[in-house]
Structure 1
Amino acid sequence: MGYNLSVSPSRRPKLGQHFLSSEGYRRRIVNSLALRPEDLVIEVGPGRGAMTELLAERAGRVVAVELDAGLASDLLRKLEHQPGVEVIQGDILATDVKEICRKRGAKSCFVFGNLPYYITSPIIHHLMNSAGVIRGMALLVQREVAERLTAQPGTRDYGYLSVRVRVHSEPRIAMGVPPGAFSPPPKVHSALVEFAMKPKFPAWTAQDLAAFLEFIQRCFAQKRKNLLNNLGQVFSKDRLRQTLDRLHLPPTARAEELTVEQFAELREKLKG
């Protein structure tokens, strides 16, 4: 077991964390993950370590990244005799997930996390940037966020976050988790979202990906407006109409109607 003390005091006491206290749901979740003995599991926000022990029973190794210094210290003492478990006290947003996998020679990496509600989207965005080394992820999030993550084109919840995760994965809601499964119980329902990672889409550089995500954000800038209006400050309306027509899309098309592939094709044709 290892311990690395590296980051500033925790924000958690001020903003709250809900620990998964139900043993039944903990076991249901671990059983759903299909972990392999060769997996290195990176656990985001292990808290008191209730899931850490179960993950270690299934995977070859667990690296638990905990922001709260007190919780990390308690976790170290609790699991010091647990083989294959390492505790890193640090902020996942400042942690290089690729480097964790590389330094430990892991051939297969999986991410699990019970994410604090207040910082869910930034963590997911950060983890997606390491998609090339992660074979899968399972994240406990607020039910409302889960519905946005898994929303299909043309639905009310489909937006930037839906497109962002589909660049590198196929997300699905694996199960709902009620407030009573947590301590303290939150005021909202939660859900476990599983992400099956797919080959890099397409073979973009980091700069290409950043430019694509900026393009998507612009497309969704004002969700009630169509693409002609949202992109009209960057491209001429005539050019936009012609490009949409070439893609067999109406001039009234909105961002919420396009798939990831259509966004990529639209951007490529507008670049040309």
Structure 2
Amino acid sequence: MNDDPRGGTPAGSSALLGPADVRRMAEQLGVRPTKKLGQNFVHDANTVRRIVGAADLRPDDVVVEVGPGLGSLTLALLPACQRVLAVEIDPVLADRLPRTVADRAPELRDRLTVLHEDALRVTGDQLAGATALVANLPYNVAVPVVLHLLAEVPTLRTALVMVQAEVAERLAAGPGSRVYGVPSVKAAWYADVRRAGTIPRGVFWPVPNVDSGLVALHRRDSPTGVDRDAVFRVVDAAFAQRRKTLRAALAGWAGSAARAERILLAADVPPATRGEQLPVDGFVRIARAERILLAAEVG
């Protein structure tokens, strides 16, 4: 665990929540985990320690945690970083989290800021200065949340998120994989993405009916000279009709199949290529080629 640069005392294992603590707190608060909010609370101290270790945090990191719930992961994060910005949509849980930290790790309570917000609506201003994302993400919004935060918070340099195993595969998939698709390409626009391990079902309450996995993302320079939204429109069109060649799949986006072919050839992409075969830089070349062709047509 990282040394505290300010001389604070890290929270010990006794501060972390166990199965009995999680159930007792939920009962006290009248909280019943809901599928709508994707709530599955981690109750295993070894798992949260493993997640924090895998996140490779620095003492000066400002960490965004989405969906802190009852605080299992929050309590493990606080000793390892400068500050935690916890984004919680549930008002009962958002109100309780500061009290939980004050009770179990009072020396660390000043490091916590709770934002009662929807993670899909939280703004970069609210998360200004954040450098890392570490979260057990609600399964039903995991990909949109990751992409939203990468777009909104350019200072995020790393992320380690726990998601449904199937989603982890999609995020980290490379070209040619059967699960390579829109999430894979859009995540690759922002970061290098890799699988970082699996999480057993038994560490959650309630126990989910799906497996979970960890995904690590490390920010890299995004392509320049082309608009991100323009590239993402190409990606969406390419995978909307996954089995079609790009010449056919991009016909609607380009205005016709013939125009799509001209753009693809200008981008040095064979028209018979399928979207699942193309890395993110290929989609970038297509968007650039379309912009050049449009300028020539207008001129």
Shift of 1:121: 2.3
Q: Deviations over 1:55-95 (max 9, x none)?
A: 11010111111111111122121123323111121211121
Partner of 2:270: 250
CA distance in 2, matches of 1:100, 1:131: 9
Change (3 A) 1:32 1:256: same
Change (3 A) 1:140 1:245: same
Q: Out of 102, 111, 119, which is 1:92 matched to? A: 119
Partner of 1:271: 291
Q: Out of 231, 239, 244, which is 1:225 matched to? A: 244
Secondary structure of the residue aligned to 2:222 is: coil
Is 1:110 matched with 2:132?
Answer: yes
Change (3 A) 1:14 1:242: closer
CA distance in 2, matches of 1:11, 1:225: 45
Q: Aligned Cα RMSD in Å? A: 2.0
Change (3 A) 1:131 1:197: farther
Q: Deviations over 1:172-217 (max 9, x none)?
A: 111100111111110111001011011232255xxx2222212210
> Structure 1, unaligned stretches of length 5 or more?
1-9
Is 1:194 matched with 2:221?
Answer: no
Secondary structure of the residue aligned to 1:201 is: coil
Q: How does 1:120-269 map to 2 (within 5 A)?
A: 120-202=142-224, 208-233=227-252, 234-269=254-289
Higher RCO, 1 or 2 (CA under 8 Å, sep at least 6)? 1
Find the structure with the greater CA-based Rg.
2
Secondary structure of the residue aligned to 2:34 is: helix
CA distance in 2, matches of 1:214, 1:116: 26
Number of residues paired by the alignment? 255
CA distance in 2, matches of 1:217, 1:118: 20
Q: Which amino acid aligns with 1:227?
A: L
Shift of 1:230: 1.2
Change (3 A) 1:118 1:11: farther
CA distance in 1, matches of 2:171, 2:192: 10
CA distance in 2, matches of 1:214, 1:83: 43
Shift of 1:12: 6.3
Q: How does 1:49-64 map to 2 (within 5 A)?
A: 49-64=71-86
CA distance in 2, matches of 1:92, 1:259: 28
Q: Is 1:136–1:195's contact at 8 Å kept on the other side of the alignment?
A: yes
> Structure 2, unaligned stretches of length 5 or more?
1-30, 293-299
CA distance in 2, matches of 1:137, 1:247: 32
CA distance in 2, matches of 1:75, 1:151: 35
Q: Is 1:101–1:109's contact at 8 Å kept on the other side of the alignment?
A: no
CA distance in 2, matches of 1:75, 1:139: 20
Q: Is 1:139–1:192's contact at 8 Å kept on the other side of the alignment?
A: yes
Secondary structure of the residue aligned to 1:193 is: strand
Change (3 A) 1:141 1:248: same
CA distance in 1, matches of 2:32, 2:231: 32
Is 1:46 matched with 2:68?
Answer: yes
Q: Deviations over 1:77-126 (max 9, x none)?
A: 11233231111212111211x21343xxx3x6111111111122221221
CA distance in 1, matches of 2:32, 2:276: 34
Shift of 1:35: 0.6
Identical-pair percentage: 35
Q: Is 2:169–2:179's contact at 8 Å kept on the other side of the alignment?
A: yes
Q: Is 1:101–1:133's contact at 8 Å kept on the other side of the alignment?
A: no
